[in-house]
Structure 1
Amino acid sequence: MNSGIKLQVLDVSKNFLSGELGNCWTQWESLSRLNLGENNLSGEIPDSIGYLHKLEALHLQLNRFSGYIPSSLRNCSQLEFLDVGANKFSGTVPLWIWEMRNLHVLRLRSNEFKGNLHQKICQLSELVVLDLANNSLAGTIPKCLNKIKAMAVADPVYNYYLGASRYPKYPENLKLVPKGNELEYKENLGLVKIIDLSSNRLCGTIPSEITGLIGLRFLNLSWNNLSGKIPEDIGALTILESLDLSVNHISGEIPQSLSSLTFLSDLNLSNNNLSGRIPTSTQLQSFDSLSYNGNPKLCGAPLNNCTREEKFNVLSEQAEYESGTSEFYIGMGVGFAVGFWGVCSVLFYIRTWRHALFLCFDNMTDQVYVTVVLKVKWFNAKLRSCMTNN
């Protein structure tokens, strides 16, 4: 046990270990890094793991652990790296996790966590990896995310990989899904700043404050129930490499500022309610139509050309005008017929009006007859006068 007390790094990951963990961690007080990931371990995490007061990194990913994360782990105040992804942990995310001010990496991906994202998440000012994807988290995205200072700095040489200086042979490793494909990061982990909240039940709008995280490289909010518009200042995330907002209820137009993201190499806005024209830029038109499909009111390259759509709208308006014109003439015809037969009906039933009308017609006929006769006589007299003079 004396050797165990002095042990600082224990890495038994990627083996075929099975069974449950023993409740004997009180004897390992010097342990600062514990990696049990990618085995077949099961059961609950024993409370005695909270006695590892010097623990900085804990890897439990890709096992079959269940139950709750023990509250005794809050005693590990130096914890910087917590990865419990791909297990069967359940319940709400413990509030004490949001109070672990030294956390750089929090990966709870692919478990059965539920409940809302607490506002205290914004206290994790050193966080550079927030991966809560594939759970059942609900509620809205906190508006205070811009208080996570480590993500609000666009420093490309942010020196982060836990314990690398003290344990150069054991750099931290982490599997992330930054662009739809799982990748393993080791020495280059210091360059990763990611928020992945995909495949949950989050609702509400995307808070505009998220655009203050100018150091962010990967943002995935897909497969939720988000609504509202894409923040207008999304272009402030100048070094963003991947943006996935697909399968939500986001509406409105694509902000023009999105076209200024020159580092963007992966974009997915599909299956939303976006509308209008896709901003024209070399960047946005470089993505294929799959990035924009499922938005019926969205147009522009690489989708159908907006000019054609506008032409279609003009033709529709013209058709509506012609339809209105034809209805006008039809109305005139019907009105004339109704008026004509109405007058005829009145004359048929009122004898005095009928006699007056016929008398008026007779007088008009007589006047026309007299006028024609006089004109004929005048013309004949004029003709005879011309012939006599000749």
Structure 2
Amino acid sequence: MATTLSSLTLLSIIFTLLLRQAHSVTHWEDIRVLEDFKNAVTPNSVSPGSCLSSWDFTLDPCDNLYSDKFTCGFRCDLVVSNASRVTELALDQAGYSGTLSSNLNLPYLQTLDLSNNFFTGPIPNSLSNLTRLQKLSLSGNSFTSSVPDSIGSLISLEDLSLDYNDLRGTVPFALNGLKNLKRLQLGSNQLTGEFPELTQLSQLVFLDASNNAISGNIPSRFPPSVMEIIMRNNQIQGKIPENILSNLSYLQVLDLSHNQLTESIPPSLFTHPTLQQLTLSYNNLQAIQSPATSNYQNTLIEIDLSNNNIHGFLPGFMGRMPSLSALSLENNKFTGMIPTQYAVKAVFPETGTVPFQRLLLGGNYLLGGIPGPLTGLKPGSVNVNLGDNCLYRCPAMFFFCQGGSQKSFTECKNFGPVIP
């Protein structure tokens, strides 16, 4: 009996020791970094009862992960538990609030993600102390004031996300100092003024400055490496530069919709060798310049020029673009007949040519008959809309006539001398 008890006692001791060895304990340097982060938030801006207010470093975070001393904000499997400095601090959607103060000093940090929290106030200049930072995400907060010039000194930064805040002022030219930047997200703020030429960002791939109040003209030059330019829903005005795409050998997406662009669309936008999506809807554009060449070996998949003030006949060359599958020219001032090549591309495309999946021509002043190939289309096959035109021979039996609803005879006749 004594032997049995002794064996059980020994096994219990061994099991307890194993548990203690397997138990996660936060490295002291990691605790110091977390303390530094808490201290970097202005104390009187931290709401009582918030996640950050519960941090109590008289106890070990990983030993008390689910206690009332550390209510949220830790993942101990991600904490660096060795002699090196912490290189990543990711607190996405952790429920933090407060104001970042000017004593932020984490010199070994490579990733700082404070996105989708409740931080307020200005972005501190002390971020420039994070000289090894490669990713900085402050999106989805309530940061105010301007984008500090000091961010431009983070020469190792590859990803900068400041979108969905309340940032104001102009986009600083100092961002040209981010020589290694690949992604720049400034969307959904209150940024104003003219957008600077950021041509020194030779590694930039993705640029999003949408949903701001940026004004002035379109920059005549963008970084040559950029693949996506998204600047929709601003107050950009003036003419689209003729050579806007001349040095953009990799561009795939150009979205300048919901602005105040005027005059004509240059032909270079339709012949670019890599552009796949062109969106210029909701502007005040008035004309389309057709390319001089008959070789349409481009890569455009989608063109949206809807809700402008474009006059003239429908551009026939768009019906010969081999990869174009979605074309929206709705709500403009186009007149004349529907080009036969549009109908052929929707129903009987040539070999090696992608058919139209979406052809939206409603809300214009188109007239004449319906091209024969379109009459054989069945509902659900191709999204075609010819409603609200001057096509009096567009009966309700054809789904693309939108119930036969067309403009009145008087409106069509008053539009111009080409309407009979």
Q: Structure 2 CA distance, aligned partners of 1:115 and 1:10?
A: 33
Structure 2 match to 1:20: 99
Deviation at 1:263, TM superposition (A): 4.8
Q: 2:204 aligns with which of 112, 124, 127?
A: 127
Instruction: Tell me how far 1:15 sits from its aligned partner.
Output: 2.7
Equivalent AA in structure 1 for residue 309 of structure 2: H
Q: Distance in 2 between matches of 1:230 and 1:45?
A: 45
**What is aligned with 1:246?**
306
Deviations 1:116-175 (A, max 9, x none): 233x23444433222222122223333445x623439xxxxxxxxxxxxxxxxxxxxxxx
Would you say the 8 A contact 1:141–1:204 is kept in 2? Answer: no
Cα 1:284–1:67 shift into 2, 3 Å? farther
**Cα distance between partner residues in 1 of 2:155 and 2:271:** 28
**One-letter amino acid of the counterpart of residue 228, structure 1:** A
Asked if residue 36 in structure 1 is aligned to residue 114 in structure 2, the reply is yes
Q: Is residue 138–residue 203 contact of structure 1 (8 Å, CA) maintained in 2?
A: no
Mapped to 2, the partners of 1:88 and 1:213 lie a distance apart of 36
Q: Which residue of 2 aligns with 1:60?
A: 138
Other structure's SS at 2:102 match: coil
Q: Which has the larger radius of gyration?
A: 1
Cα deviation for residue 17 of structure 1 reads: 1.7
Query: Residues 87, 233 of structure 1: CA spacing in aligned structure 2 closer, same or farther, 3 A cutoff?
Result: farther
SS in 2 for 1:149: coil
Q: Does 1:286 align with 2:286?
A: no
Residues in 1 aligned to 2:162 and 2:131: alpha-carbon distance in whole angstroms:
18
Q: Give 1:272's aligned residue.
A: 332
> Could you tell me the TM-score, scaled by structure 1's length?
0.57
Query: For 1:191-206, what aligned pairs fall within 5 Å after superposition?
Result: 193-206=252-265
In structure 1, C-alpha distance between the alignment counterparts of 2:292 and 2:109, rounded to whole Å:
45
Q: Distance in 1 between matches of 2:200 and 2:290?
A: 23
The answer for the alignment partner of 1:224 in structure 2 is 283
The residue aligned with 2:16 is none
Of 101, 104, 108, which residue of structure 1 is paired with 2:182? 104
**What is aligned with 2:87?**
8
Partner of 1:78: 156
In structure 2, the CA distance between the partners of 1:62 and 1:24, relative to structure 1 (3 Å rule), is same
Name the CA distance, whole Å, in 1 between partners of 2:271 and 2:219.
Answer: 13
2:364 maps to a residue whose letter is N
Q: Secondary structure of 1:28's match?
A: coil
Contact 1:214 1:236 in 2 (8 A): no
1:89 matched to 2:158? no
Q: Which moved more, 1:65-74 or 1:33-42?
A: 33-42
Partners of 1:192 and 1:41 lie apart in 2 by 35
Q: Which has the higher contact order (CA 8 A, sep 6+)?
A: 1
Q: Cα RMSD between the aligned structures?
A: 4.0
Partner SS for 2:167: strand
Gaps of 5+ in 1: 153-175, 179-190, 321-390
TM-score, with length taken from structure 2: 0.54
Match of 2:213 among 136, 154, 170: 136
Residue 45 of structure 1: how far off its partner (Å) = 0.5
Contact 2:210-2:231 within 8 A present in 1 as well: no
TM-superposed CA distance for 1:18, in Å, is: 1.6
Distance of 1:47 and 1:13 partners within structure 2: 21
SS at match of 2:216: strand
Counterparts of 2:160 and 2:220, CA distance in 1: 24
Taking the aligned partners of 1:228 and 1:101, their CA distance within structure 2 comes to 38
- How many Å apart are 1:236 and its aligned residue? 6.3
Conserved? CA contact 2:366–2:391, under 8 Å = no
| 1:41–1:63 contact (8 Å) kept in structure 2 | yes
**Unaligned stretches of 5+ residues in structure 2:** 1-27, 34-83, 233-249, 347-353, 375-383, 394-408
Alignment partner of 1:16: what SS? coil
- How many Å separate the matches in 1 of 2:132 and 2:272? 30
1:109-120 aligned at under 5 Å gives the runs: 109-118=187-196, 120=197
Q: Is the 8 A contact 1:30 1:54 kept in 2?
A: yes
| Residues 151, 214 of structure 1: 8 Å contact kept | no
